[in-house]
Structure 1
């Protein structure tokens, strides 16, 4: 048998290429230097083609750190080859900070493209993308238009799917909407054609942990020290609390901060549609819903997760946001020994918050009178915290803390304010709690009179 030639140690990426392949790539670069298009577009096309030959589809969608490092070196090499050949043919070369250009190309090819620096900017809170060439951000600098170009709608959709890959969700023409949490905790919602124009329409809510304790909320002027002292007693006494407000009013941050009053070792179970809460302490479990498959099967909703939660013996159950029929299961749990629940809901004030929960609860049960449903709700919830975002100042404020007395008059829950927004500040009303709340505080070592000792009420209001 004739002697076999030594095996070629062909490194597909990040090393010296075999001589023949090196010459082929030089010829490709020379051809590319003569093609039409900007130098950056030409180099990007070359690199994309080579990476498709080099990396698997899984690596392209979820590249490792080593894949990215090797790809960056490939981009540097390709820029050098392109510029050498472009000069020899008298064509424009790629100019500027070549290392920065290479990094931006890497973002576009294996990262999240122009989206990446926006997600890394700590001053940004919300990102609105209206097609591939319009980006608006809100945050510490107010509302700003950013000069960002994603290329085409298809290229932007490719970037979005790369961002969605860790969540296991995907955006395509069979599933033209998606809601998911990104790896950095941000919440992404996207819609594509045929139901969106221009497309894609993308909204990203950055998960900025601007507050993690009640002291942070006091510093940010979201709550007053006196109100925080009262809420500490309520949370530690396992009063069930509903946090209501509009989108972006700060409900998630407030619930996170309430967790600083939890026993850090007690079993805590969080139910959410998309992971947003990050509770303090140990023994925190998270259950997250699952959307249906393309075939319309396999969905797991919050109502199903509540039933699973009750079998896991939690000391507290926390709902990131009550949205549907799970409200009935939540109230049933609250009335069968699972006190200390905390839940968020979209509503304009405390009364609307209670009414909203009752409306959602009706979806979970049939042939039950409205009054019975309302009584179930008011027995399950003791306090409602209402929060608002002030667009003029950019600050979030707790505007009311109201006691749900447990009583119903007709089809109206009886609610009284403990704190109310008056004269531009959150003020104690001086209203005394009903026996249900007073006894709960007392049983856990808190006296309402001691909490407010030395404080003067600022014009109390009666029942709502």
Structure 2
């Protein structure tokens, strides 16, 4: 009989370590292996069991829930040595296990066996959609280099899609046999079961087993049934920066700044909807006909926007802005020709000396990437609060608080806006506040923070030029409902912002810093600005310093900061060629 050594730590300070025979039942009734008397614990709360040498924790539908390694779990989840489980008043740590047998038939029935197929496509779709942690990262060796393999074998895309859809339907029919078991599985277990069934289907049908690309076909079907379908391969490709699903059979990608069609597709519109659900469910967002639009993020931080019919007329669509695999830094941007080294050194001095900056630019111009890089130039030891709609900033600082806005629930309650978070951040003793993007009334609170002891704060906004950025700020402050005259708003902006950095996406796909402008107070009711650096197009394309030292740098120089005046007179020739990407 297998035994498990558990360390039990209670809220009252009591601590004990003891062996339990497997399976271990946990609850507040006396017949449980581990009895926990608390109103937060159900009569039959959870169970720890084994199957084929692996441990599993099974939450039995408890109201209070079971928390594994700081994440609440639902149904069945793998368990390992040193994992920590919180149930009610008890912290349970798995310490050791002796020899495991495979004789627990009840648990085999829970995690294993699928025998006779019954045809019920719709109910399987519901079962797959019900998985609680669909974004759990699972490596699939079959899917590695899938695209390259298919290209080498010269497989016709139309034939491949037809075979994929046929095998996908057979898998769904087979999975539907044990619908109750499926809904109790976490994503890794479901993928394991689906893979086993898929192999069985292919081996028993010569139509599939004799195909030269059977392995690649199985990987595609598995991705669509329990993963992200055709998106899986696109997300692995570091040369792709954006993925756009216009409808189930129409996918486009951006590579090196250029758009191109992708030959593969989803099997149906319902498949796209299911994948959207798998993306948004783990982060507490919802999407349905009553709320058909959603912003979300993938596990790697990539930004996702999804829209459902009837708003999306052609069918459910997804737009994914991918994050580079490696965290880029200023040297990477200089190497790609987004700016020159003199501009990079200038921005570094600005951040380290607590200048308030706004990054302005159009959609897809690289604002968030630059914001992330500049934020990582903030010296260690400062407390940073980041505020975003969908968390995508990845800062290297230890003293970091990340806040994310929340949409309203189905009853229209519970919304937490960016403005609410900016107001709250002021009470969190931040040294710097970094707002992912200002779109509305939060601009007033952000600028107020910049002007009241939180110098060195950063944010982005959509505008096509520095002057447009100032105009947009004026409009956004008016959106805050502040009954202020325009002259007062302009005074507020002029006294708060030090520099505006303009990002531009060129026609060849390259993203460059096209202008750095200093804000220099008011003159005749107009906000003064002067350009310090610019990117010039044409035959003399390149980055130019305009020979002007900012007034704020004059003050820094007086304070002893080392500043090379020659940097403001330099010219760097632009990098020619097509756009490159950060890998």
Task: Pick the TM interval, shorter chain.
Answer: 0.7 to 0.9
How far apart are the structure 2 equivalents of 1:347 and 1:260? 24
Instruction: Pick closer, same or farther for the CA change 1:230–1:134 going to 2, 3 Å.
Output: same
Q: TM-score with structure 1 length normalisation? A: 0.84
How far apart are the structure 1 equivalents of 2:390 and 2:557? 33
Shift in Å, 1:25: 5.1
Identify the residue that residue 502 of structure 2 maps to in structure 1.
386
Measured against aligned partners, the alpha-carbon deviations of 1:259-294 in whole angstroms (never above 9, x if no partner) come to 232112211111111112112222121111111112
Which of residues 46, 59, 69 in structure 1 aligns to 2:173?
Answer: 46
Counterpart of 2:437 in 1: which secondary structure?
A: coil
Shift in Å, 1:391: 2.6
Measured against aligned partners, the alpha-carbon deviations of 1:125-145 in whole angstroms (never above 9, x if no partner) come to 111111110001111383211
Q: TM-score with structure 2 length normalisation? A: 0.68
Counterpart of 2:376 in 1: which secondary structure?
A: helix
Instruction: Pick closer, same or farther for the CA change 1:108–1:211 going to 2, 3 Å.
Output: closer
Report which of the two has the higher share of strand: 2
How far apart are the structure 2 equivalents of 1:39 and 1:347? 48
Identify the residue that residue 356 of structure 1 maps to in structure 2.
472
Shift in Å, 1:373: 0.9
Shift in Å, 1:104: 1.9
Which of residues 434, 444, 453 in structure 1 aligns to 2:566?
Answer: 453
Shift in Å, 1:124: 0.9
How far apart are the structure 1 equivalents of 2:470 and 2:269? 43
How far apart are the structure 2 equivalents of 1:110 and 1:329? 43
Shift in Å, 1:217: 1.4
Q: How does 1:300-379 map onto structure 2 within 5 Å? A: 300-379=416-495
Instruction: Pick closer, same or farther for the CA change 1:356–1:122 going to 2, 3 Å.
Output: same
Identify the residue that residue 462 of structure 1 maps to in structure 2.
none
Shift in Å, 1:451: 2.0
The count of corresponding residues between Structure 1 and Structure 2 is 422
Counterpart of 1:261 in 2: which secondary structure?
A: coil
Identify the residue that residue 74 of structure 1 maps to in structure 2.
197
Identify the residue that residue 296 of structure 2 maps to in structure 1.
180
Q: Extract structure 1 runs of 4+ deviating beyond 3 A.
A: 6-10, 12-15, 24-28, 92-95, 440-443, 453-458
Instruction: Pick closer, same or farther for the CA change 1:209–1:101 going to 2, 3 Å.
Output: closer
Identify the residue that residue 188 of structure 2 maps to in structure 1.
65
Which of residues 530, 534, 538 in structure 2 aligns to 1:420?
Answer: 534
Say whether the 8 Å CA contact 2:297–2:390 is kept in structure 1. yes
Counterpart of 1:11 in 2: which secondary structure?
A: helix
Counterpart of 2:346 in 1: which secondary structure?
A: helix
Instruction: Pick closer, same or farther for the CA change 1:441–1:47 going to 2, 3 Å.
Output: farther
Counterpart of 2:522 in 1: which secondary structure?
A: strand
How far apart are the structure 1 equivalents of 2:557 and 2:329? 21
Q: How does 1:85-100 map onto structure 2 within 5 Å? A: 92-93=207-208, 95-96=210-211, 97-100=213-216
Greater shift, 66-75 or 317-326, is seen at 66-75
How far apart are the structure 1 equivalents of 2:568 and 2:382? 33
Say whether the 8 Å CA contact 1:268–1:283 is kept in structure 2. yes
Shift in Å, 1:41: 4.3
Measured against aligned partners, the alpha-carbon deviations of 1:353-403 in whole angstroms (never above 9, x if no partner) come to 1221121111113321011011111111100110111131x2211111110
